Structure 1
């Protein structure tokens, strides 16, 4: 039985889920989501930029599982920040939902203040349950928290044993904001997967290194949703709730922190890239 986390607004989110980044719209996304739900996944993380929200909606509605039992996260792209209210309506239509469980601002560029006001209004109107941000850091992160009436419930950032975001976790503590991890397995870096400390722990529990890393995320209180379309990997990834890492093992994994992100685009590069992307429904 997978775990759930209480967000700072009182809503309860499944801590483990499926990310559908780079899974194509259509059959690939629908099959991945359906199989994940069959295996016990109850959290699907998508985004308007992924261009597969419609397929996510089809899959959850055809799964036979009550919508109330499935948590859907999506993200608003910067090109929609100036007209965020209409963008939210489009997302609801694509997902075929009356309410999005968690809606994030996808990037820290553009008119994020205006977009955040729209997210807060969407919470008040019942169109969105919880709101948060993705890929915010530095002065824009501080500005958003100072500006927001409703503080972000979640911050989605690159997090893995090589980049554990300890300073960020300390910043978020007073607000009760939870970290959600992308690149939870270190972008598939073979150096991480070959770490001798992780291999030793994996052998003890008869698990893979990937399972040990995912279990570490869970015990560190991080919300995680590895991406996969392969049935065997979907089944392997969720098979992490029948064991528990010891305090000593958690400390050993913490020693792997190199503060080494794989995403290294500067803020100016983000502005140049992300504001120029115009998305289709």
Structure 2
């Protein structure tokens, strides 16, 4: 496994396993719900210090202040953990400053080793940085071959913020898994398109958290550190960038209203 060092010295794996919106009934070893995650953690036999656990502060759970602390403690208690490695603000909406300062307090207390955001566009991220004491360690944003965020990644790096991808496979949109350039690159290494995408992300220094309910796919997703894409191949993948989201714009008023009313973790 390869790691990146966050702006507060915490080491974070470049590749993880996402459980977002995976139903436990989809797999014998499903770990979508906290009780299944607790079982997975306890039965793994892996020392806690060798695990990197992340969860999020949902907009609907976090008016601010003490509510943010209670929202943090709920998954912590459900998971049976003494601390989280990374705690993310899910959306840049609501009382962002109040939420962030409560997250800063949790971080200072040692129960969140690192804190960060998700879905912060450049203007919102810079505003958060310049008006608060602690700079987000991570910003999790939509990043995949069709929306590559190279310029934004550079800006985040300049401010010490680590980029993390969600939707790394674009949920299969634009026929990603049969994309000719990606398939051709994979053929050269005996790798699948998914492995090429994960290698492309991690080679760029983008943290990836693929999800799957199939054990063989999980193993395949982690088998991406035994080859390296050439500069020519990286440039070829760069041509796939459309510069636009395949899902939604977090600055669209209708989307903001929709996100504020809907729990996306359910």
Structure 2 length normalisation: TM-score?
0.91
Alignment match of 1:72 (pick from 31, 48, 53): 53
For 1:269 and 1:227, how far apart are their aligned partners in 2? Answer: 28
How many residues are treated as equivalent by the alignment? 262
- Of 112-121 and 271-280, more deviation after overlay is shown by 271-280
Report what 1:272 is aligned to. Answer: 257
Alignment match of 1:165 (pick from 149, 155, 167): 149
For 2:122 and 2:164, how far apart are their aligned partners in 1? Answer: 17
Distance 1:153 1:169, change over 3 A: same
Q: How far has the Cα of 1:58 moved from its partner?
A: 2.4
Alignment match of 1:55 (pick from 30, 36, 50): 36
For 2:144 and 2:257, how far apart are their aligned partners in 1? Answer: 27
Conservation of the 8 A alpha-carbon contact between 1:32 and 1:228: no
Structure 2: 5+ residue runs without aligned partners? Answer: none
For 1:130 and 1:68, how far apart are their aligned partners in 2? Answer: 14
Distance 1:260 1:275, change over 3 A: closer
Q: How far has the Cα of 1:250 moved from its partner?
A: 1.4
Structure 1 position 185 matched with structure 2 position 176: no
> How do 1:1-281 residues align onto structure 2 when only pairs under 5 Å count?
2-24=1-23, 26=24, 31-32=29-30, 52-81=33-62, 82=64, 83-267=67-251, 268-277=253-262
Distance 1:277 1:21, change over 3 A: same
Conservation of the 8 A alpha-carbon contact between 2:27 and 2:214: no
- Of 101-110 and 78-87, more deviation after overlay is shown by 78-87
- Of 87-96 and 150-159, more deviation after overlay is shown by 87-96
Q: How far has the Cα of 1:30 moved from its partner?
A: 7.7
SS in 2 for 1:140: helix
Q: How far has the Cα of 1:7 moved from its partner?
A: 0.7
Structure 1 length normalisation: TM-score?
0.87
The structure carrying a bigger strand percent of its residues is: 1
